[in-house]
Structure 1
Amino acid sequence: MRLSFDSDVEEFRAEFAAFLTEHQPGEDEARERSKSSADVPEWARRWQRLLFDNGWLLPANPPEFGGRNASVLQQYVHLEELSKRRIYHSFNPQGVGIIAASLLSFGTEEQKHRWAVPILRAEITAALGMSEPGAGSDLAGLRTRAVRDGDHYVVDGQKVWTSGAHDADVLLTFVRTDPTAPKHKGISVLLIPTDTPGVTRRPFPSACEPDDLDFNEVYFEGVRVPVANLVGPENGGWTVANGSLGHERTLLWLGYADRLQDLLADFRPRTVFDRDAYAGLVMDSYALRLLGSAALARESRNQQDVPALSVLKVLGSEAVQTATEHALTAVGTDGLASPAISSPPSPLNLENFWCGWFERYLRSFAGTIAGGTSEIQRNIIAQRVLGLPRA
């Protein structure tokens, strides 16, 4: 395997690196932090708009949507350069990476310009209304219903774990429009502005962030949504869902690889890991990057390999969790207070790495849940990689 890039990719990298050197906000400007994943400070909105206007927000997009028609390898080096500097391109990641991307894939031209462009330019923020009580990873089990009434849908039901909903301007909401159809075939997707009468958002704390509220319960009571806000065909929401999560997962493994590398690099000089455990994590790190690079090469040749993303998701998220658990065990009670890395992160990084090891360990569980739980990923691997029958 040749882990190098052609000249056009390296030229793309150099151009982006020069842009970052010249334009990235400084620490003083970026001191204000987000309170949730849809609460974007004004400096971060300016930063996102600057990226959009110069084609560096989502480089795979065409220029009118904040990109430059970049290849998958160019997208990869774009993320590598952001990672090197601990920079995040948006503080509303689900809005940019999932919701706007889904609108560009499945929305009408009017929806793209009315909703996707303002999200990409940080003029509005968005949240994803997918999980429900009793239907977290099982989207097909959702019960929030939408009944057609003339040129509107009337929505009733509840969502939960809706990150940033209390700060978001719009929700991309998965609803059941045909209760008589098979579970996967009766789902539709609606854009619901959060100021619509009947929408109630209740933020609640997590064990990791008791002061910074992000999770929400969202209730819909007789909410009237224009039919024009339907994304994709009626009862075609399962396809939209798979596309939405596909946008999230394509290069998700790179984030896990970076986290694992940070964890190992920070503890190497401290020699606090058990040597066998440390060696195992180093091998996980190499395996993750090699398997990820192979998947990237296949994608660059237009060879779709969706099951490979499930393998990378399980390996990456669980390796990070294992590494964090070993670190917490090694530092003992000091992990309740000591920082999880030896130097403060860039102010442009979405995550606050300057926290105790116990908090880092708690956060590691999110990686095995968000974007499809490890259990669901193992089902995909069993059926689509190993060819095993459905349970």
Structure 2
Amino acid sequence: MQLSFETDVEAFRAEFAAFLDEHLPRGAESLERPRSTAHIPEWARRWQRLLFDEGWLLPGNPPEFGGRDASLLQQYVHLEELARRRIYHSFNPQGLGIIAASLLSFGTEEQKHRWAVPVLRAEKTAALGMSEPGAGSDLASLRTRAVLEGDRFRVNGQKVWTSGAHDADFILTFVRTDPDAPKHKGISVLIIPTDTPGVTRRPFGSLIGPADLDFNEVFFENAEVPAENLVGELNQGWTVANGSLGHERTLLWLGFAERLEDLTQDFRPDGVLGRDRYATLVMDLQALRLMGSAALARAARGEQDVAALSVLKLFGSEAVQSATEAALETAGPDALAHPARTAPFNPMTLEDFYAGWFERYARSFSGTIAGGASEIQRTIIAERVLGLPRG
């Protein structure tokens, strides 16, 4: 077993690290904090554009889409270097990692340059319209309806949990275009600009507090959308959905590993958690890194292992939640304090977004939902790893 990277991969890492050392925003230029996951302050737009222009935004993409045709292992060390320095390469993560990636995979050439490139260059931001009041993890139950009338779709329905929609320029929206087809069929995907008449966005607070406005309800009332905004083929939206979430899941485990790494630095063996819980945290981190490395090696060889990604997603997200819950219990009333808030705010670092233990614990729930809820991952593991029959 080789637990190191080849020379070309490490050279790629060194080149990126040198770029970061020279160009990373610092000081007063990076003080403005984003309002939501679809609001990018002007300094951060400049930063993302520089990454795009230099091919460091998404290195696996071709140069015209912000990359340099990097291998999977090179993409991994790129993300690892960002995570090690706790750097965001975009404050519109769903726009960059899911929506633009989906448009590049399934969109027309016109859609790629009109919608995906502006998102990659931080000239536009995007939100993802999947979940509905009656269709969360079960996306196939969605009811938002789009009827093709000549050269336009007429859209009616509702989405919810649409992160950043109130600040986004457009929403990649999953709609039902054939109500008579089986529920996994008859779904299509539309690019819907948020200034379209009949589109209403209503942000609402979360467990973190009423001022934490990222989630939205989105209502469509006879909203007319040009037929040219259809992404992929009519009634083939399930294929786009699987591709969209696939873009999100491939290296998702690395984020959980870095969170656990952060927690080991915060706790220490004689700190908040005590020795036993600290040891569990360290073992979880090592197990996640080893399983993730094995999955990465298989992917680099071109092997598809969806079940392994489910194991990593489930284990990583719940390990982070377990560790922050333990810290919350141990710290008692002190867990409600926000120590990082007293320091000068640096929006380039993760710590300022997860300041207090209660906030860290509350936010850990999103990790067990986004990218496929834990219950869904357990079903995949039961059927595709353990070979259990459908219940």
Q: TM-score, with normalisation over the residues of structure 1?
A: 0.97
Matches within 5 A, 1:116-195: 116-195=116-195
Q: CA deviation at 1:277?
A: 2.5
Give the deviation of 1:345 after TM superposition: 7.8
> Is the contact made by 2:346 and 2:352 (CA closer than 8 Å) also made in structure 1?
no
Distance apart, 1:389 and its partner CA: 1.6
Partner of 1:94: 94
Q: Partners in 2 of 1:68 and 1:204 — Cα distance?
A: 39
Partner in structure 2 of residue 237 of structure 1:
237
- Does the alignment pair 1:111 with 2:79? no
Q: Deviations over 1:121-158 (max 9, x none)?
A: 00000000000002111100100011110111111000
SS in 2 for 1:166: helix
Worse overlay, 203-212 or 74-83? 203-212
Q: 1:229 to 1:34 in 2, by over 3 A?
A: same
Note the C-alpha offset of 1:296: 0.4
- Does the aligned pair in 1 maintain the 2:354–2:360 contact within 8 Å? no
Query: Which amino acid in the other structure matches residue 277 of structure 1?
Result: R
Q: Secondary structure at the match of 1:292?
A: helix
Report sequence identity in percent.
76
CA distance in 2 between partners of 1:128 and 1:340 (Å): 31
CA contact (8 A) 1:339 1:356 kept: yes
Native 8 Å contact 1:345 1:353 kept in 2: no
Distance (whole Å) between structure 1 residues aligned to residue 344 and residue 388 of structure 2: 46
How does 1:185-264 map onto structure 2 within 5 Å?
Answer: 185-264=185-264
Assess if the C-alpha contact under 8 Å between 1:344 and 1:354 holds in 2. Answer: no
Deviation track 1:293-331 (CA, whole Å, cap 9, x = no partner) reads 000000110111111111000000000000000111111
TM-score normalized by structure 2? 0.97
Deviates more, 1:23-32 or 1:263-272: 263-272
Paired residue for 1:296?
296
CA distance in structure 2 between the aligned counterparts of 1:4 and 1:106, rounded to whole angstroms = 35
How far apart are the structure 2 equivalents of 1:269 and 1:276? 8
Q: 1:351 to 1:243 in 2, by over 3 A?
A: farther
Q: 1:161-220 deviations in whole A, cap 9, x for unaligned? A: 000000000000000011111111111100000000000000001121432311000000
Aligned to 2:8: 8
CA distance in 2, matches of 1:345, 1:313: 30
Tell me: CA distance 1:95–1:153, structure 2 relative to 1, closer, same or farther (3 Å): same
Q: 1:259 to 1:343 in 2, by over 3 A?
A: farther
Whole-Å separation in 1 of the counterparts to 2:96 and 2:354: 25
> Is the alpha carbon distance of 1:99 and 1:292 closer, same or farther for their aligned partners in structure 2, counting shifts above 3 Å?
same
Q: Secondary structure at the match of 1:181?
A: coil
Corresponding residue for 2:265?
265
* C-alpha separation in 2, matches of 1:269 and 1:291: 24
2:315 aligned residue: 315
User: Which of 336-345 and 255-264 deviates more?
Assistant: 336-345
Aligned residue identity for 1:3: L
CA drift at 1:278? 2.3
Q: 1:180 to 1:351 in 2, by over 3 A?
A: farther
- Which AA in structure 2 matches 1:375? E
Aligned residues, how many? 391
**Pairing 1:53-64 to 2, within 5 Å after superposition:** 53-64=53-64
Shift in alpha-carbon separation, 1:265–1:303, aligned structure 2, 3 A:
same
Q: Distance in 2 between matches of 1:183 and 1:135?
A: 11
Residues 232-278 of structure 1 show CA distances to partners (whole Å, capped at 9, x for unaligned) of 11111111001000100111100000001111221015433243332
Q: Which amino acid aligns with 1:267?
A: F
Q: What corresponds to 2:370 in structure 1?
A: 370
Alpha-carbon distance in structure 2 between the residues aligned to 1:340 and 1:76: 29
2-side partners of 1:3 and 1:253: how far apart? 18
Q: Say which SS state the counterpart of residue 359 (structure 1) adopts.
A: helix
Question: Is the CA contact (8 Å cut-off) linking 1:107 and 1:232 kept in structure 2?
Answer: yes
In 2, Cα distance between equivalents of 1:367 and 1:2: 30
Q: 2:264, 2:245 → 1: CA distance? A: 29
Deviation (angstroms), 1:350: 5.8
One-letter identity of the residue aligned with 2:35: K
Moved more, 341-350 or 35-44: 341-350
Q: Residue 352 and residue 141 in structure 1: after superposition, are their counterparts in 2 closer, same or farther (change >3 A)? A: farther
CA 1:32–1:199 in structure 2 vs 1: closer, same or farther (change >3 Å)? same
In structure 2, C-alpha distance between the alignment counterparts of 1:389 and 1:232, rounded to whole Å = 33
Q: RMSD across aligned C-alpha pairs, in angstroms? A: 1.6
Q: Which moved more, 1:158-167 or 1:354-363?
A: 354-363
Residue type matched to 1:74 in 2? Q
List runs of 5+ in structure 1 lacking aligned partners: none
Residue 30 of structure 1 pairs with residue 26 of structure 2: no
State the match for 2:50 in structure 1: 50
Q: Which amino acid aligns with 2:213?
A: L
Which deviates further from its counterpart, 203-212 or 325-334? 203-212
- 1-side partners of 2:181 and 2:387: how far apart? 28
The worse-fitting range, judged by mean Cα deviation, of 95-104 and 277-286 is 277-286
- 1:353 Cα shift? 3.8
CA contact (8 A) 2:203 2:215 kept: yes
Shifted more, 40-49 versus 381-390: the winner is: 381-390
Which deviations, in whole Å up to 9, do the C-alpha atoms of 1:334-376 show, x marking residues without a partner?
A: 0101437998785313673452211111111111011110001
